[in-house]
Amino acid sequence: MIAETIKNSARILSGASIAEAIKREVAGEIKTLSYRPGLTVVRVGEDEASAVYVGSKIKTSAELGIRSEHRHLPADTSQKELLRIVDELNERDDFDGILVQLPLPKQIDESRILERINPEKDVDGFHPANVGRLSQGAAALAPCTPAGVIEILKRSDIEIAGAHAVIVGRSNIVGKPMAMLLLRENATVTICHSRTVNLARITSQADILVAAIGRAGFVRGEHIKAGATVVDVGINNVSDADYVRELFDETELEKRLTTIEKRGFTLVGDVNPKEAKAKAANFTPVPGGVGLLTVAMLMKNTVDAAKLRRQK
């Protein structure tokens, strides 16, 4: 089992060690190929978080042996121009994956751009064709974050088949594809959202609880079944020191408060970690949990896309 254990607390599932294992597997597979898979990442504008994410993707590509290209476009790029670039990349045989980093500037319709990407090169798994195949249980390039959650569960020896999995959040990026992937693994799945009545009554029945609602520390002890596995997908910046004191126990609080002093904020998931660790059997931390799997799964999708295209 790839995990760390904290005394008298939940087992902390290590996203770092699982991500490294997946990247090693991908690098090993690339060495067996007679070609180098290629990935193009397109970024529009100067969003700081996007720049960090893209940098990580390009760096990891180089480390694993994937040929990568970064197209950085100005913030005033038109939708017409971005569509032209996507069309160009669709036609290139030397690149197997196309990723357009979100969010995009307001003048660009994200759905138009994502739908224009060739489904065979859609390594983000957002194209309607891949979404449809996923919903049918067919082979498809799946969104990286939900696919990473499945890897965490499997590689931590957590039984999915027959489990009641509850997802808090219904986004197209995490919530809905997460449900499809869990169904594919034979879980019984319930999706909750902002309009769900008596949320805690439903979530407290979950053997596997996935939080992806975008609200810092929203899921608390009352929402968690004793002995459940809690997967925290949320990433939120919290600068309120008093609120941070409510979320973290003495083993982590000082570090978090120091981070706020230095950076002005600390990263917090959608789950109250103090209460989750006291009640759950397994828990993914933020940071250090699901987020680290996203880039690893992108690398895996790129290799899978390369193999599928050449088989055709």
Burial 233-257 (b: 16+ CB within 10 A, else e): bbbbebeeeeebeebbeeebeeebe
Residues whose CB falls within 8 Å of the CB of residue 209, separated by 6 or more in sequence, listed in order = 165, 166, 168, 203, 219, 223, 224, 225, 228, 229, 230, 231, 280
Q: How far apart are CA 231 and CA 312, in angstroms?
A: 37
311 is catalytic: no
Catalytic residue of the set 122, 124, 207, 270: 124
Contact 11, 4 (CB under 8 A): yes
Q: What is the DSSP letter of 157?
A: T
End-to-end CA distance of the chain: 37
Annotated catalytic residue 101: yes
Of 23, 57, 225, 300, the active-site residue reads 57
Out of 96, 101, 176, 279, the active site residue is 101
Query: Do residues 108 and 77 make contact, with C-beta atoms less than 8 angstroms apart?
Result: yes
Residue 93: DSSP 8-state:
T
- Judge whether 57 counts as a catalytic residue: yes
What positions carry a catalytic annotation? 57, 101, 124
